[in-house]
Structure 1
């Protein structure tokens, strides 16, 4: 019940309170979003780490399958706001409880993405979620930025 109350609040706050910027370079694109959530860092981590519940609240990463453990591969189903969907199989780089979740995937030098969720405590009842991705490689110009950044905002 607590989780659902937090999620409802996140959706309401997320509509108005998401900050985002995109930095583009020839072989690198950074998408940086952040939102302040009216919940403790522990409560936010519980929702973020509960990948089985993603289909209930996450409109972008609609399914994450496997185990959140460093070095393990995940299967992530994505639905972009433009209606396109894809499945990626990133590797978990970092799982630091109450702090960060990081995965990456794609061929280095061609098109690689590092996806981060970092939690920052603002005060005992407020947590800032930094939701970012860095794409790198020769083919980053093919990234659908018009669908990726809005997708991250919707998820936030």
Structure 2
């Protein structure tokens, strides 16, 4: 059995802009209230090092890239705890709706018998964190798109 957090939002910005926000890891501190630092090549097999704000002080976390499809999707997971005790999977999906709107899907699952302990301690913080990040992606992409439209219009 898995514990799943899945958020899907429509964003008033082109898919390219949403992807730019997600893939520009060095800029995460500017807009992301949950994952306040991220470093990775984004290549499958390489690490993704993050600082995640679950507790009073951000926690360093290393996970491993599983998938990368330019402009569409990237996914990563933790190194599983032996014996099937705990594993996770996280993905970011970008789908164009039309030329100026995008559907963004944030997905996370946690499985293994230790998930009960993790959820007892951190469930509310995980749910709030992923919701905050999803809203941050939306806000940042829409701000960038509005700014670029204003710049293109000369005003």
Q: TM-score band (shorter)?
A: 0.7 to 0.9
SS at match of 2:30: helix
1:1-156, aligned counterparts within 5 Å? 27-80=1-54, 83=56, 85-108=58-81, 109-141=84-116, 142-143=118-119, 144-156=122-134
5+ residue gaps, structure 1: 1-26
Structure with greater Cα Rg: 2
Q: Say which structure, 1 or 2, has more relative contact order (CA 8 Å, 6+ apart).
A: 2
- Please identify runs of 4+ aligned residues in structure 1 that moved more than 2 A: 82-85
Deviation at 1:106, TM superposition (A): 3.3
**Aligned residue pair count:** 129
5+ residue gaps, structure 2: 135-155
What is the CA deviation profile of residues 36-67 of structure 1, one whole-angstrom value per residue up to 9, with x for unaligned ones? Answer: 11111111111110001111111101001131
Structure 1-normalised TM-score?
Answer: 0.77
SS at match of 1:69: coil
Structure 2-normalised TM-score?
Answer: 0.78
Deviation at 1:128, TM superposition (A): 1.1
